[in-house]
Structure 1
Amino acid sequence: MNSIPYYSACTSILVGKSASLDGSIMIGRNEDAKSAWPKHLRVHPKKQFQTSQWFQSNDNGFKMPLPQIRYQYEATPEWTAKYGLFEEDGFNEFGVAMSATESTYANPTVLGYDPLVPDGIGEEAMVTVVLPYVKTARQAAKRLGTIIEQFGTCESNGILFADRHEAWYMDTGSGHHWVAIKIPDDCYAVVSNQMAVQKIDFNDPDNYMWSKGLQSFVDVNHLNPALDGSFNFRNIFGTHSQSDTYYNTPRVWYGQKMFNPEVEQRPDSQEMPMLRTPAHKISIDDAQAFLSSHFQETPFDPIGSGSNADKKKYRPISLAKTQESHILQLRPNLPQAIGNIHWLAMGVAAQSTYVPFLSGFNTVPDEYQVGGAQYDPKSAYWIFKLVGVLVDPHYPQLGELLKQTQEELSIRYRQLILDADRRCHGMSHSELVTLANEVSTNAAKLALNRYQQLTARLVAESTDLSPLNYKQDLNL
C-alpha cells in the first residue's frame, strides 16, 4: 500500500455545449494533493502487443487484464510511479476526454453493506485502464463501471468524461456501486469532494447509467431516506458533515455565484443542486477563472481584505496543494486534432497559466517531461511553481506583475489558436498533427520563457521587500 497518504482534494467543472459560448463541451479539474509533487505530460503512442497485457498497481496491488491494442492517449502522470501512476487527464486518439478523479466520501451506513475493496481500482489506475480502450464518453463510463462491479474500488470518486457529443459525470458510492449522469447540453456543474449526482431516473438509460443491482441493493438494505421514494444518490450514498460545510460546499457556492449571480444561496448550504442553467454562456476563460479562483470579491478570499477569521473560514478552489489544473475543451466544426484542446496549468492555477496543447500533438517539450520532488529549474512544473513562491509573501506588491503576464499570455495563446483554425482546413491527418505540434510547442515555449522572465523581475523587485530594511535619508 501507499506509504505516503495521497489526499486528493479536487474541484471540477463540466459545461454542456449549449451552455458554452462557442458550442464547446468542457470538462476540467484541479488536481490537489501535495504542494511540492510535480506532474509530467506524456503522450503514449498506439501500440499493438503480441502477448497478453495486465495492469498491476504499485499502490495497492489492484490487477486486471487489458486489451492487446492500446490506442494513443495523453496523460499527466506523477513524477514517480512508486506510489501509483495517477495519469489523471487527457484525450485519446478518438477524441474521448477523461479526468479522474474528484475524491468523494461515502457514508458509513452504505459502506457497512458494501465496503470499499482494499485491492480494488483506485484513482491512480483509472485513466490508464480506461482511456486507451474506448471510443466514446459513454463507453468510457460503462467500461469503468464494469471494472468497479467486477473488481471493486478502494475509494469513492467522481469521474469526468466527454466527447464531441456529450459529457458524463460518474459517482462511485461504495465498493461496487456507481451511477453516471449525462450533463444536459444547456447546463453546467461544479463539484467539490462531495457525491454530486442527485435524482436518478431508472426509466431513462439514455441520460443515466448505474451499477447492476443498484436499486435492489438500496431497497433490501433500507438505505433510502426519501419519504416520497425518489432515488437521490447523493442523499443515499454521500455525507452531510461539518467537513462538507466548510471544506466542500463553499466551492460549489462560489462557482454557482459566478455563473448564476442572481441565485441567492449560502456558502454552507447542503441543498445546492448539481446542475444549473447558467445566466450567461460560459467561455473557456470563465472556466479557467473558476478553477483558478479563491473567493475573490468576497470576505473569504485568503488574500483579500476580509477579517482573519473569514479569510480562513473556507477552503479555496485554487490553493498551494494544486499539482496541476486542466480543462479539456472539445470545440465543434473543426478537425479533432485542432479542435480539441488540453489546457494545462502546471502548479497552482491562480499563479500559473493554462497552456493550450492541441490534441493532435504527439511531441512533448522536454521541460514537461522532467522534474522531481526537489526544485529543478529545467522542469515546467517548477518554473511555474517558482513564480508562485516568489509572489506569495508579497501579493500586494507583486501580484499585478503576475496578472499582467497571465493576461498577456492568454492573448498570445488565442492568436496562436486562431491562426491554426484558419490554416487547418483541407489538411491531411499528418499535416494536422504537424500543425498541432507546432502550435502546442510554441505555446509551451512562450509560457516557459515568459515565466522565466517574470521570475527574474520578481527576484529583483523582492530585494527591497526584506524585513531587514530601513528607510533612510539618502542625504546622510
Structure 2
Amino acid sequence: MKSILIILLINLVIIFRSKKVYACTGTYVGSKVSKNGSRLIARTEDIGSAHPKSVIVYEKPFWDNNLYIDKITGFEYKMPNHFYKYYAVPDSDGNNDDGIYDEVGFNEFGLSISATVSSYCKEEINNIDSLIEKGLREANIASLVLSTCKSARESILFLAKIVDEYGACECNNIIISDKEESWYMEIVSGHQYIAIKLPEDVVAVIPNCLMIDYVNLDDDENTIYSKDLINMPKENNLLKFRNDKFSIRKTYADDLGSYDRDRLWGGQNFLAKSKNRPYDYDFELFFKPDEKVSVKDIMELQKYRYEDTKKDANLAINNIDGFEVRPIGIERQAECHIIEIKEEFPREAPGLLWLCLGNAEHNIYLPYFPNIKSVPEVYSNRFHNFNENQAFWIFRAQGTLAELNRDKYGSNIRKYWSNHQDELIKEQDLKNKEFVSLYKKDKSLASEYATSQINEIGNIFYNKAKNIYEELFKYVASEAGRAAEEKYIPSEMKETSI
C-alpha cells in the first residue's frame, strides 16, 4: 500500500508540472571549435515532463509489407526492400499516443540523426503552400532515415523526395550526420525546403524558428533545396531581403518572438559571452564561440536557465502573469542528447550518443556507442504511467522533486550528478581507445564491448537515481511536519565526503 501511495503522489506531481508543448532547442558545434576536435550535434526534446521515452534497438522493421504507415495521420510510404539496423529513443506510448517519434539514434552504417526542432512558417506562406495533413512529420523522420539511408547527403535527398511527392505535415529543422559531414535541413512550408552542409568552424543555437538566411543556391556541393524555394514566394510578392540578399528566414518565417529570442539571446551569450549581444540583436544562425566548446559545456547549456542574468528563469519576477521567460533548461524536457562524432572512430561507428532521460537540470548523460546490441531492460521498458521499472520515470521523478525547491532539494543533487558526469567523461576517453582498438581487430568484439558498457553503467546509474528518488521523497514528505534545517544531501555524497 505504501509504495502504491508513493507512485500515485509522484504521478500527480509530474503531471501537474508537465506542459504538453511541442518545442525543442538544438545546438551544433563544428569540429574546429570543439575542445577535443569532435563534431557535436545536440537537442533537448521539450515535449513534456510526463512524456516517457525508451531506448530501443531495432533489429527488424516495425511495419509490414515494406509499407510504413503513420497510424495517427494516415501518411504512407513504400519502403525499400532493405532494412538497416538502428537504435533510437522513441516515445514509450508510440501509436497509442501521437506516433513513434524515434527522435535520435545511430544506424549500422554510422548514420545519426537528431529530428526535430519544430518550426513554423508565415500564414501568408501557408496560404499558398499549405502544410499537408497526411504529409511527412516529425514522428516519422528518424525511423524512415535510419532504417533506409547510409549517409547524411543521401538522407537529405531522401527526405527532399518525400516532401516533393507527399508534402510536409509540419515545418521542421533536422540535423543528420555521418563520419564525414553534417547537414542541416529546414522544411519551410508544405513543399519547400532548404538544406546546407554545416561548416566546421562555427556553432549554432536553434530554437523553434527557421534560421537560414541567405545561402548560395548555385553551390550544389553544399546546398540542396526545393525547385520553387524562390519562385513560389516571388510569384506571390512575398520575397524578403536581408542586406540586399534573398533571405529564406525573413521570406518564410515571422519575426522572432520572445519564445525563441530568449533562447537565442541566452545560448549565444552562454557560448560567446564576450560579444555581449543585446536582447534585440538581429541574431544569425552561425557564430563563433569565445573558447573551444566541450561536451560538458553543451550539457550545461541544455540545463541553462539564464542564472546570474536579468532573465534568470528561477526568479519569480520573470514568471508572472502575462510574462514568462523561456529558458533552454526547461522542466518539460523528455530527453536531452548530444551526438559526438569523433575523428578517430571508424566510419560505421563514428562516435557516441550522450543521452539524458528526463530533463537535464538534475540528471546525468550516459554514453552509448553506435553499434550496441541491447540496453538494460529498464531503459527499453515502456510504461504509460510512473513505474519504477522504467529508467525514464526514475530519472524524471528524482528531478521533479529536486525542482520543487532548487536550492534546498536540488542544489546538492545537481552537484552530485555533475561530479559523476565529470568522472564518466574522463573514463570514456579510455573506453573510446579500447573500443577503437577492438574495432580494428574484430567488429563483433567491439559491438560486444559497446553493449557491455552501456548495460553496466546503465544499471549502475539507474540504481543511483532510484536511491536519490527514494531518499528525497522521504525528505520532501517529512517537510509537511517539521521542515528540515539542512539541505538534502544524497547519502552517497555524505559517505564520500567523510
Global fold match (TM > 0.5): yes
What is residue 142 of structure 1 aligned with on the other side? 157
1:204 lines up with 2:219 in the alignment: yes
The correspondence for 2:51, drawn from 37, 55, 68, is 37
What is residue 68 of structure 1 aligned with on the other side? 81
In the superposition, the TM-score normalised over structure 2's length comes to 0.87
What is residue 460 of structure 2 aligned with on the other side? 446
Matches within 5 A, 1:184-333: 184-226=199-241, 230-240=245-255, 244-269=256-281, 271-304=282-315, 309=320, 313-333=324-344
Q: Could you tell me how far apart the structure 2 residues matched to 1:251 and 1:141 are?
A: 27
Q: Could you tell me how far apart the structure 1 residues matched to 2:451 and 2:348 are?
A: 10
Q: Could you tell me how far apart the structure 2 residues matched to 1:310 and 1:284 are?
A: 36
More deviation, 223-232/425-434: 223-232
Q: Could you tell me how far apart the structure 2 residues matched to 1:339 and 1:167 are?
A: 12
Structure 1 residue 15: deviation in Å? 1.2
Matches within 5 A, 1:42-441: 42-45=56-59, 52-80=65-93, 81-82=95-96, 83-226=98-241, 230-240=245-255, 244-269=256-281, 271-304=282-315, 309=320, 313-335=324-346, 339-424=350-435, 425=437, 426-441=440-455
* Contact kept in structure 2, 1:416 and 1:439, CA below 8 Å: no
- CA-to-aligned-CA distance 1:202-237 (integer Å, 9 cap, x gap): 121222211123222232222212287522110000
Q: For 2:241, what is the secondary structure of its paired residue? A: coil
Q: Could you tell me how far apart the structure 1 residues matched to 2:190 and 2:430 are?
A: 48
Q: 1:308 to 1:54 in 2, by over 3 A?
A: closer
Structure 1 residue 465: deviation in Å? 2.6
Q: For 1:212, what is the secondary structure of its paired residue? A: coil
More deviation, 164-173/292-301: 292-301
What is residue 10 of structure 1 aligned with on the other side? 24
* Contact kept in structure 1, 2:54 and 2:92, CA below 8 Å: yes
Q: Could you tell me how far apart the structure 1 residues matched to 2:405 and 2:21 are?
A: 28
* Contact kept in structure 2, 1:300 and 1:312, CA below 8 Å: no
Q: Could you tell me how far apart the structure 1 residues matched to 2:245 and 2:200 are?
A: 24
Amino acid at match of 1:278: P
* Contact kept in structure 1, 2:318 and 2:324, CA below 8 Å: no
Q: Could you tell me how far apart the structure 2 residues matched to 1:227 and 1:315 are?
A: 27
Amino acid at match of 2:359: V
Q: Could you tell me how far apart the structure 2 residues matched to 1:308 and 1:64 are?
A: 44
Structure 1 residue 307: deviation in Å? 5.8
- CA-to-aligned-CA distance 1:355-405 (integer Å, 9 cap, x gap): 111112111110111242311011111010111122122221122221232
* Contact kept in structure 2, 1:106 and 1:174, CA below 8 Å: yes
Q: Could you tell me how far apart the structure 2 residues matched to 1:471 and 1:290 are?
A: 32
- CA-to-aligned-CA distance 1:439-462 (integer Å, 9 cap, x gap): 112221221111112223323433
What is residue 494 of structure 2 aligned with on the other side? none
Amino acid at match of 1:33: I
Q: 1:455 to 1:202 in 2, by over 3 A?
A: same
Q: 1:227 to 1:20 in 2, by over 3 A?
A: closer
Amino acid at match of 2:177: A
* Contact kept in structure 2, 1:48 and 1:69, CA below 8 Å: no
* Contact kept in structure 1, 2:319 and 2:325, CA below 8 Å: no
Q: For 2:57, what is the secondary structure of its paired residue? A: strand
Structure having the higher helix fraction is: 2
What is residue 35 of structure 2 aligned with on the other side? 21
Q: Aligned residues: percent identity?
A: 26
Structure 1 residue 253: deviation in Å? 1.1
- CA-to-aligned-CA distance 1:418-444 (integer Å, 9 cap, x gap): 232232314310010011112112221
* Contact kept in structure 2, 1:337 and 1:436, CA below 8 Å: no
Q: Could you tell me how far apart the structure 1 residues matched to 2:62 and 2:50 are?
A: 36
Q: Could you tell me how far apart the structure 2 residues matched to 1:135 and 1:470 are?
A: 57
Q: Could you tell me how far apart the structure 2 residues matched to 1:471 and 1:58 are?
A: 51
Gaps of 5+ in 1: none
Q: Could you tell me how far apart the structure 2 residues matched to 1:311 and 1:110 are?
A: 29
Q: Could you tell me how far apart the structure 1 residues matched to 2:252 and 2:442 are?
A: 49
Q: 1:207 to 1:44 in 2, by over 3 A?
A: same
Amino acid at match of 1:131: L
Structure 1 vs Structure 2 CA RMSD: 2.4
In the superposition, the TM-score normalised over structure 1's length comes to 0.91
